[in-house]
Amino acid sequence: MLKRKRKDLGGIPTASMSDVAFLLLVFFLSTTKFDVKKGLGLVLPPASANADKKVKLNDDNITKVWINAEGEITIIFGDNEETITMSELEAKIKQIITENPDMVISLKTDRKSKYKNMVHALDKLQAAGAEKISLSTN
Amino acid sequence: MAKIKKAKKPETTIPTASMSDIAFLLLLFFMVSTVFVKEKGLNVTMPQADEIQKIPRDQSATIYVDRNGNISIDDLIVSIPDVKWVMQKKLIENFNVISCFRTDENTNYGIMSDILNQLREAETLRVSFEAKLKR
Question: What is the ipTM score, two decimals?
Answer: 0.71
CB contact under 8 A, B109 and A118: yes
Fold of A59-137: Nucleotidyltransferase; domain 5 (3.30.420)
CB-CB under 8 Å, B100 with A118: no
Please check the confidence at residue B2 and state whether its pLDDT lies above 70: no
The answer on pLDDT for B49 being more than 70 is yes
What domain count does chain B have? 1
Beta carbon pairs, A and B, within 8 Å: 149
- Residue-level pLDDT at A53: 55
Residue B128 lies in a domain: yes
Containing H/E element for B126?
Answer: strand B126-130
Chain A: give the shortest CA distance to residue B9, in Å: 24
B57: domain CATH number?
3.30.420.270
- On whether residue B69 sits in a domain, the answer given is yes
Range among A40-49, B4-13, B126-135 rated most confident: B126-135
pLDDT over 70 percentage in chain B: 96
**List of chain A residues whose C-beta atoms are within 8 Å of the C-beta of residue B112:** 115, 118
Contact residues on chain B for A49, CB-CB shorter than 8 A: 121
pLDDT of residue B9: 78
- Best to test chain B binding among A38, A73, A137 (most B CBs inside 10 Å): A38
Residue B6 has pLDDT above 80, yes or no: no
- Residue B4: CB atoms within 10 Å: 6
| Nearest CA-CA distance, residue B82 and chain A, Å | 16
- Interatomic CA distance for residues B81 and A85, integer angstroms: 35
Q: Which residues of chain A have pLDDT under 50?
A: none
- Confidence label for B50 from pLDDT (cuts 50, 70 and 90): confident
Q: Does residue B67 have a pLDDT over 70?
A: yes
Tell me what percent of chain A is helix, strand and coil, each rounded to the nearest 5: 35, 25, 45
For every residue of B82-110, DSSP letters joined together read HHHHHHHHHHHH-TT-EEEEEE-TTSBHH
Over residues B109-133, the mean pLDDT reads 89
Tell me if B60 sits within 8 A of B100, measured CB to CB.
yes
Residue B77: strand pairing partners: B72
Give mean pLDDT, residues B3-21. 78
Domain layout of chain A by residue ranges: 59-137
**Is 70 exceeded by the pLDDT of residue B37?**
no
- Provide the residue range defining the domain that includes B80: 48-133
pTM: 0.73
Higher pLDDT, B36 or A68: A68
Task: Tell me the average pLDDT of chain A.
Answer: 81
Q: Read off the pLDDT of residues B83-112 as tens digits, 9 standing for 90 and up.
A: 888 898 989 988 889 999 999 988 888 898
